[in-house]
Structures are given as structure tokens and as C-alpha cells.
């Protein structure tokens, strides 16, 4: 392999989940009335454990694993969306990350304003975003809603706008999580066509999916994660076998 363009070395990632616990009203009331005991319970989820992977130019890599295995976390860590707790991640080149499509909008700003904000978050310049604005607006096809605040959008409308932005901005390393989410049937047809053309254009693809048919059609290499650990890394056909073996062992298909 030439010099890797993505390198994970002994990567660990922990999620600390106290915020989720505090969202439960019952838990909050319980804690308030437990006099003299003000300990906060923090659930620690060790989502990536000592993961080391090199991905080079031209590679098409599928991420496999049962629910909760760490596939999305792997992608988010590579995209820099979550701080890692240990190890090191290097990325050489520009990323295009297609996941979490509904998140990160400013609810009081209009769709058009959010195009600029999200583009800047993705690393584009204001000039580049203005040049792409018309294309994004046309693909999202939201009509007059594009000038309304995001808080007036349905979930499906937000996904359309997020998808249009994320697929227009970014580089040749494509990180793709299988779930693209809501959207009506016509939009999904257009969305799939656009994803296929992005996959074709990308120099590197890292695709997290449960669909072994798509994985074997699109990827040459497969990485199987289980409980945050790297269980297998090799040809996609063997990775699929390994994934099936682990799923059968746990009775989780």
C-alpha cells in the first residue's frame, strides 16, 4: 500500500452518558430526593477499543458488525466529530461525510442561511458556498421553504436540505453511513443516484452497512467490528463470512 490516507493507531473512544440519564424526569426526581447522596452516575460506553487500521488510495472498505458494534463511531471519529480518548487518527485529504443528516442546523436561521453555516462547518469557504448555493437549493427542491426558518421544516425536509449540502461540499474521501433517513420516494430515487455517482467519483470509500449485498458489490476490503474491537480486516467475502459467524453465535442476524 502507498502511504495511508487514513490511519487509526490504537484508537479508543469513550462516550460518557450522564447527560442521557439526566434527561429522565423520574431519575432526576429520584436523585433530588436521595438526601445527602449527590453522586452523579456516569455510564461509560467504550465504543472503540484499541483499533488500528490503515486505508490507502483507491480503497473501498466496508464496515460490518452487529448493532452497537462501533461502525458509526468509527466513521464519526475519522470525520473528527467525536474526540478520541486514546491513540491517534491521521487523515490526509478532504472528507465528504454522509451521516447524521438531520443534525446541526440552526433552527432560527433560514434554509439558505443554514447552507452557508453548514458549508463553513464542513470546511468550505463563504465564496465556495455562495457558488454552490443554487445547486444545493435546486437539489433540495424545497420551494419557498428555503427562505423559511429551519424550525418550520418537517424531519424529511431537513434531511433533504442536509443531504443536498453534504453531497455538494467535500473531498474525495467518502465516509458513508447506510441510513440516509426520511424523504419521499421521488427524493430517495434522486438521492440514491447521487450517492452512486459520489461513490464512483470518490478515491476512497468507507461504507458502514448491514447490507452484505451492497457491501460485496461496492467494497473489496471488509472490516468487522464487535464490541468496539477490530475482529477481522481482509477481503470483503471473508469479512462477510466472519460477520455472519459472529451474528449466528449471538443469535443476532
Q: Quick one: the chain helix, strand, coil %, rounded to 5?
A: 45, 25, 30
The answer to whether 209 contacts ligand ATP (rule: CB under 6 A) is no
DSSP 58-124: T-EEEEE-STTSSHHHHHHHHHTSS--SEEEEEE-S-EEEE--TT-S--TTSBHHHHHHHHHHHTT-
Grid cell at residue 163: 443531504
149 vs 137, 154, 201, CA distance in Å? 14, 11, 33
- Name which of 71 and 160 has its Cβ closer to ligand ATP: 71
To the nearest whole angstrom, how small is the minimum distance from the Cβ of residue 110 to ligand ATP? Answer: 28
Query: How would you classify the pairing of strands 173-177 and 95-98?
Result: parallel
Q: How far apart are CA 183 and CA 231, in angstroms?
A: 35
Q: Which of 1, 17, 29, 155 binds ligand ATP (CB under 6 A)?
A: 17
To the nearest whole angstrom, how small is the minimum distance from the Cβ of residue 14 to ligand ATP? 9
DSSP conformational letter for 3 = S
Part of the chain binding ligand ATP (CB under 6 A), chosen from 68-76, 116-124, 139-147, 213-221: 68-76
Contact flag: residue 127 with ligand ATP (CB under 6 A) = no
Is residue 148 within the footprint of ligand ATP (CB under 6 A)?
Answer: no
Binding residue (CB under 6 A) for ligand ATP from 56, 68, 149, 171: 68
Distance of CA 160 to the CA centre of its chain: 16
**Degrees, nearest 5: CA angle 150-153-157:** 110
Under the binding rule (CB under 6 A), the answer on residue 67 touching ligand ATP is: yes
**Residue closer to ligand ATP, measured from CB, 67 or 186:** 67
42 is a contact residue toward ligand ATP (CB under 6 A): no
**At 126, is the secondary structure helix, strand, or coil?**
helix
Binding status of residue 227 toward ligand ATP by CB under 6 A: no
What is the C-alpha radius of gyration for the chain, rounded to an integer number of angstroms?
20
Q: Is there binding between residue 71 and ligand ATP (CB under 6 A)?
A: yes
Q: Could you tell me which stretch among 61-69, 154-162, 164-172, 241-249 binds ligand ATP (CB under 6 A)?
A: 61-69
Does 181 bind ligand ATP (CB under 6 A)? Our answer is no
Query: Taking CB under 6 A as the rule, does residue 56 contact ligand ATP?
Result: no
Q: Residue 200 has which C-alpha cell?
A: 464512483
Residue 115 · residue 161 · CB < 8 Å: yes
| List 6, 8, 11, 47, residue binding ligand ATP (CB under 6 A) | 47
206 lines the binding site for ligand ATP (CB under 6 A): no
Number of residues that bind ligand ATP (CB under 6 A): 12
Binding site for ligand ATP (CB under 6 A): 15, 17, 45, 47, 65, 67-73
Amino acid at each position: 500500500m502507498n502511504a495511508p490516507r487514513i490511519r487509526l493507531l490504537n484508537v479508543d473512544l469513550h462516550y460518557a452518558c450522564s447527560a442521557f440519564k439526566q434527561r429522565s424526569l423520574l431519575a432526576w426526581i429520584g436523585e433530588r430526593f436521595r438526601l445527602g447522596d449527590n453522586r452523579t452516575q456516569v455510564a461509560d460506553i467504550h465504543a472503540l477499543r484499541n483499533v488500528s487500521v490503515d486505508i490507502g488510495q483507491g480503497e473501498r472498505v466496508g464496515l460490518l458488525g452487529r448493532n452497537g458494534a462501533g461502525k458509526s463511531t468509527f466513521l464519526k471519529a475519522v470525520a473528527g466529530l467525536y474526540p478520541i480518548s486514546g491513540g491517534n487518527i491521521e487523515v490526509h485529504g478532504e472528507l465528504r461525510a454522509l451521516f447524521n443528516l438531520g443534525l446541526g442546523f440552526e433552527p432560527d436561521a433560514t434554509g439558505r442561511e443554514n447552507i452557508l453555516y453548514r458549508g463553513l462547518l464542513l470546511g468550505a469557504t463563504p465564496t465556495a458556498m455562495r457558488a454552490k448555493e443554487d445547486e444545493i437549493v435546486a437539489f433540495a427542491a424545497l420551494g419557498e421553504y428555503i427562505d423559511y426558518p429551519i424550525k418550520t421544516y418537517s424531519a424529511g425536509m431537513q434531511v433533504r436540505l442536509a443531504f443536498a449540502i453534504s453531497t455538494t461540499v467535500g473531498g474525495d474521501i467518502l465516509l458513508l453511513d447506510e441510513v440516509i433517513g426520511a424523504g419521499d420516494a421521488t427524493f430517495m430515487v434522486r438521492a440514491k443516484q447521487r450517492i452512486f455517482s459520489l461513490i464512483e467519483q470518490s478515491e476512497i470509500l468507507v461504507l458502514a452497512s448491514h447490507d452484505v449485498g451492497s457491501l460485496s458489490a461496492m467494497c473489496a476490503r471488509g472490516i468487522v467490528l464487535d464490541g468496539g474491537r477490530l475482529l477481522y480486516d481482509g477481503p470483503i467475502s471473508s469479512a462477510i463470512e466472519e460477520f455472519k459467524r459472529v451474528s449466528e453465535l449471538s443469535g443476532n442476524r
